[in-house]
């Protein structure tokens, strides 16, 4: 049985596409304030449900920590042991979480567009923690927060390198950075570029790059017949020590993690002063605090004073 979907005004946090630059800046400002020690303590009776049906350690822990820091309870639904494995539909599952009293549901799933779909069935806000190949708003926003600590967006030259086709991070970042006035280029193996996508020259483009975002290569791309070998990938498309020399001194290197050492980047890149991977992880918690707080504010549950 499928329950009738309700139609309701825009709720939840689903995609960068539907955010204005003001929305983005408000989130980044709030995340910055949280990082600087701002506290809101009205969430002690609130519950944030985590519904992650794809493997994810860091995003899930980051959301969990963010909810805890806001004083909320965390309800963790593990798909392997949940009723989803007994055949319950995703819509029924989020409706159950809502009925149990969850005030907000954080969803990670391998189907593109899933959070907008699920939002039609519940009134509590859903936060997208990564949907298929489509979007990864919280990862994008933590990248933006990290970049903003060093750079201005307007005119910024950003190069995103790797498996663009399957990357929700690349998609969200391109949309967000272009809204903010940056210039975004993609590069990677041709077969991993979506149709009709311009491909920047690699490694030549590195010399005019302000921010390099490297993407994680899923190792199963080799058995899927999409790449030849990890070694070949590293030599042809990776940030090798030699390629690193092309990158300007004051540029930034970002990576959504987890990193494949020796595949998308050489081991030594992680020690380079331009590499901000650890700061990204730190900022991720503050960005997710902001997303949870704003999602609940949208429901009138909390007030965030300026």
In terms of CB distance, is 133 or 233 closer to other proteins?
A: 133
Site for other proteins in 122-181 (CB under 8 A): 132-135, 168, 171
Establish if 87 lies at the interface with other proteins (CB under 8 A): no
- How near is the Cβ of 31 to other proteins at its closest, in Å? 24
Return d(Cα 233, Cα 264) in angstroms, integer.
Answer: 8
* Near other proteins by CB under 8 A: residue from 40, 114, 127, 294: 114
- How near is the Cβ of 166 to other proteins at its closest, in Å? 8
Under 8 Å CB-to-CB from 44, ≥6 apart: which residues?
Answer: 71, 72
Three-class secondary structure of residue 295 per DSSP:
helix
- How near is the Cβ of 204 to other proteins at its closest, in Å? 24
In terms of CB distance, is 52 or 133 closer to other proteins?
A: 133
Site for other proteins in 181-240 (CB under 8 A): 194-197
Site for other proteins in 90-109 (CB under 8 A): 90
Closest CA to 138 of 148, 147, 149, 127: 127
In terms of CB distance, is 113 or 257 closer to other proteins?
A: 113
Return d(Cα 17, Cα 117) in angstroms, integer.
Answer: 16
Burial tier of 85 (Cβ tally within 10 Å: 0-12, 13-18, 19+): exposed
What 3 state SS string does 279-293 have? HHHHHHHHHHHHHHH
* Near other proteins by CB under 8 A: residue from 2, 36, 39, 201: 2
Return d(Cα 40, Cα 305) in angstroms, integer.
Answer: 9
In terms of CB distance, is 1 or 39 closer to other proteins?
A: 1
Name the strand (E) or helix (H) holding 78.
Answer: strand 73-78
- How near is the Cβ of 7 to other proteins at its closest, in Å? 13
Closest CA to 160 of 136, 132, 128: 136
Determine the interface stretch with other proteins among 19-27, 110-118, 266-274, 279-287 (rule: CB under 8 A).
110-118
Contacts with other proteins, residue ranges (CB under 8 A): 1-2, 5, 89-90, 111-114, 116-117, 132-135, 168, 171, 194-197
């Amino acid at each position: 049985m499928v329950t009738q979907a309700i139609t309701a005004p825009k709720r939840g946090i689903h995609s960068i596409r539907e955010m204005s630059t003001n929305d983005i800046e408000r989130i980044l400002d709030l995340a910055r304030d949280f990082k600087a020690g701002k506290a809101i303590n009205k969430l002690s009776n609130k519950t944030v449900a985590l519904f992650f049906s794809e493997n994810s350690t860091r995003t899930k822990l980051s959301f969990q920590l963010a909810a805890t820091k806001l004083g909320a309870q965390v309800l963790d639904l593990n798909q392997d042991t949940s009723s989803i494995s007994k055949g319950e539909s995703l819509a029924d599952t989020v409706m159950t979480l809502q009925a149990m009293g969850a005030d907000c549901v954080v969803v990670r799933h391998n189907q593109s567009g899933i959070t907008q779909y699920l939002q039609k069935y519940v009134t509590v806000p859903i936060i997208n923690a990564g949907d298929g190949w489509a979007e990864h708003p919280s990862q994008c926003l933590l990248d933006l927060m990290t970049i903003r600590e060093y750079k201005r967006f307007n005119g910024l030259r950003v190069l995103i390198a790797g498996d663009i086709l399957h990357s929700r991070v690349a998609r969200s970042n391109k949309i967000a950075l272009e809204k903010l006035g940056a210039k975004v280029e993609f590069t990677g193996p041709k077969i991993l570029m979506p149709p009709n996508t311009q491909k920047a020259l690699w490694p030549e483009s590195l010399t005019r790059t302000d921010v390099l975002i490297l993407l994680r290569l899923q190792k199963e791309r080799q058995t899927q017949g999409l790449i030849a070998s990890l070694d070949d990938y590293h030599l042809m498309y990776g940030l090798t020590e030699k390629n690193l020399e092309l990158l300007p001194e004051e540029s930034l290197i970002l990576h959504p993690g987890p990193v494949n050492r020796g595949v998308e980047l050489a081991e030594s890149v992680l020690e380079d002063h331009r590499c901000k991977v650890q700061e990204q992880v730190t900022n991720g918690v503050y960005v997710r605090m902001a997303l949870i707080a704003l999602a609940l504010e949208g429901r009138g549950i909390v007030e965030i004073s300026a």
